Amino acid sequence: MKNSTKMLTRAGVIAALYVVLTFIVLPVASGAIQFRPSEALTVLPLLFAESVPALFVGCMIANLISGAAVQDIVFGALITLVAAVCTRLCGKACKGKWAKIAFGGIFPVVLNAFLLPLIWIWAYGGLDYAYLLQVAFLLISQSVAVYALGIPLFLSLNKAQEKYPVLFGYEVKKER
């Protein structure tokens, strides 16, 4: 019971942080050319299972409040959910922390970069040739958020998790 309370609390904090970090840079957090520092949180499924639904909820709320089209609200959040699930699975499959970061970060970068522009063309209309330009911008901005901001976040939380496991809801095994 204690762990589920910590996990629910952590999920709420992650979802809220996603929304807040998106709105801090709101003019550039939406649109064809966007940068969301909140995407750094997409590395958290490597550490916390509860971050998977939290990122989905946070993204959906951020898109909803920012006035995005229904397609963007629903399918943009679903892309975040799929990326978070893939990142979580990658984290379980990879052994070293550097492998986890390198491969786990690919999913939020690539899925957002290639799928979001399709949703935007569907939702807002636009010229098809703009797709490749939007993909390029998203590959760059997502890579910066996930790797430049997400790696230090992952490393610091991983270190804290190892040093203070009780704070993260893990029992410390006493040696005899």
For residue 169, is pLDDT > 80? no
What is the secondary structure of 96-137 as a DSSP string?
Answer: SHHHHHHHHTHHHHHHHHHHHHHHHHHHH---TTHHHHHHHH
Tokens 């270190």 found at: 159
% of the chain surpassing 90 pLDDT: 73
Q: What tens digit of pLDDT does each residue of 117-131 get?
A: 999 888 888 766 688
Which domains does the chain carry? 2-25+35-168 (1.10.1760)
Q: What tens digit of pLDDT does each residue of 86-120 get?
A: 999 999 999 999 999 999 999 999 999 999 999 98
pLDDT of res. 33: 78
Mean pLDDT of 148-158: 96
Mean pLDDT of 68-88: 96
For 77, residues 6+ apart whose C-beta sits below 8 A from its C-beta are 56, 57, 59, 60, 63
Q: 167 pLDDT band (50/70/90 cuts)?
A: confident
Q: What tens digit of pLDDT does each residue of 131-150 get?
A: 899 999 999 999 999 999 99
In this structure, what token pair is assigned to residue 161? 């998790």
Residues 86 and 99: beta-carbon distance below 8 Å: no
pLDDT of res. 124: 84
For residue 90, CA distances in Å to 8, 43, 169 come to 23, 11, 22
The Cβ of residue 128 has, within 10 Å, a number of other Cβ atoms equal to: 8
Q: Alpha-carbon distance 102 to 130, whole Å?
A: 29
